[in-house]
Structures are given as C-alpha cells and as structure tokens.
Structure 1
C-alpha cells in the first residue's frame, strides 16, 4: 500500500532566503506562492514544503523541525567538502562534539547534520550494511573508526 514518502514540511521565516538556501542544496523549486515554497526531493516522487510564518519560532524538536535527505555512502563520506563549497557549516548531533559524519552500526545508517537559516535540523543520511557481529555497537563511530572495524572483518 505505502510506496514511499510524498512530502514533508518545515516552518521558515523568510521564503526568499529559504529558496536560495534549498536551491544551493541542489533541490529544484517545484512551485511557490506568497508564503509557501515546495522543492522536489526526488522529482515527481517526493517534495519538501516550506511554510513562512511564526511557527519557525517553535523550539527545535525532531518531530517538527527535522528532515533527513538520503545520499549514498560515498557522498556522505565527502559531505564535509560539499557542504563547505556551498557555504554550509555542519553541526554536532546530540551530545557529540564532532561535526564529522558518523556511523550508527546498531541502526545500519550514517549521518551528518547541518541547519537551514531558521535552525531547522537537516541531515544527510545513508544506509550502511552492517555485519551481524557489529549490530550491537551503539557508539557513534567516525567513518575512519567504522572502516577500520570493517577491514578487520
């Protein structure tokens, strides 16, 4: 029945500034009106709605101000350079001090985080194939730690 995600939404304070930012990420503007803009995440499959209004002042919580974009492992590995070229600073996740991408072996994914101009949490994320013996690792591992662990496999 469910084929995938059609849309997600984020609150913003300035539509034009957000259009510039999300365009820098490589998303294509699908349409806009006076206080709303929609960007294709995957053209004709899923899009992101940006809604200008006072809701951008809501305190951050991942259930209302977060979205993760799917990328490949290779792209995520080089995401720091890409973010730098478009003028975006990565941010640490949770209690981590490092902004570097990391692997969650127990979840089978890897991530790097950054914010949009309104402080909405954005994430680049990929699936990671995890051998069974490593699926109990709950530490967040740097790519270097992860790749060294897999080499020993």
Structure 2
C-alpha cells in the first residue's frame, strides 16, 4: 500500500529568499504561487512544500521543522565541500562541530552517515546516507572519517 513519503512541508518567512536557497541545493522548482512553492526532491515521487507565513518562529524540535534528504554514500563523502561551495554552512550537531562532520548515527542496529545545516529560517536540514542496515553491533556516534578508519577491510 504505502510506497514512500510523497511530501513534507516547512514554514518560511520570505518565499523568494527560500526559493533561491533551495535552488542552490539543486532542487527543481515544481510549482509556485504567492505564498507557496513546491520543489521536487525526486521528480514524480517526492517534493518539499515551502509555505510563507508569519508563524516561522515555532521553537525547533526534531519532530518539527526538520527534513532529512537521502543521498548516496559517494555524495555524503563530499557533502561538506558541496555545501560550502554553495555558501551554506554546516552546523554543529550532537556536540560535533562542522569540521567533524559528516557524522555516523548509531541508530542500532542501523548506521547512517549524516550532515546538518539550516535554511534561511533556521529549519533543520540533513543529508543522510545509509551505511548498513540490520547489523547487530553497538557503537557510539562518531565522525564519518573515524568510521571509515575503523571499518577498513
């Protein structure tokens, strides 16, 4: 029945500024009116809605104002440089400064590599790539660089 996530939505204070930001992430604008824009995440499969509103300052919580975008492992390796080239700063997350990212998240038994940044309104954005699924091995959160060192074959 369920095939995946089709859409997610974020509040923004200035739609024109937000459109410029999300275009820097190479997302394709699919639809726009005066107060709403949709960007394809994966054309025909999923999109992100940006809603211009005065109610942007809802306090952050992971259940609100957060989007994680799936990327390939190859891309997560270069994500920090890619973001910086676009003038987007990686933010500290889980006590790890930008220079220690991407991180490896121990969602045991799974592992994912992720990097975090914000849009112009402080919405939390994450690029995430699965490293392994269904492997029973506990570990602590670490940088992807440390993970790669520990998991060289």
Structure-1-length-normalised TM-score: 0.92
Residue number in structure 2 paired with 1:150: 151
Q: Cα offset for 1:96?
A: 2.7
Aligned to 2:5: 5
2:30 alignment counterpart:
30
Alignment of 1:121-132 (within 5 A): 121-129=124-132, 132=135
Number of matched residues? 150
- Contact 2:90–2:98 under 8 Å retained in 1: no
Q: CA RMSD in A?
A: 1.6
- State the Cα distance separating 1:132 from its structure 2 match: 3.6
For structure 2, the residue ranges without an aligned partner over 5 or more in a row are none
Distance 2:73 2:111 in 1: 11
Structure 1 residues not aligned, in runs of 5+: none
TM-score by length of 2: 0.92
Which residue of structure 1 aligns with residue 112 of structure 2?
109
- Mapping for residues 41-52 of structure 1, pairs under 5 Å: 41-52=41-52
Residues 37-76 of structure 1: pairs in structure 2 closer than 5 A = 37-76=37-76
* CA deviation after TM superposition for structure 1 residue 145, in Å: 1.1
Offset at residue 54 of structure 1 (A): 1.7
Counterpart Cα distance in 2 of 1:62 and 1:143: 22
Superposed displacement of residue 120, structure 1: 0.1
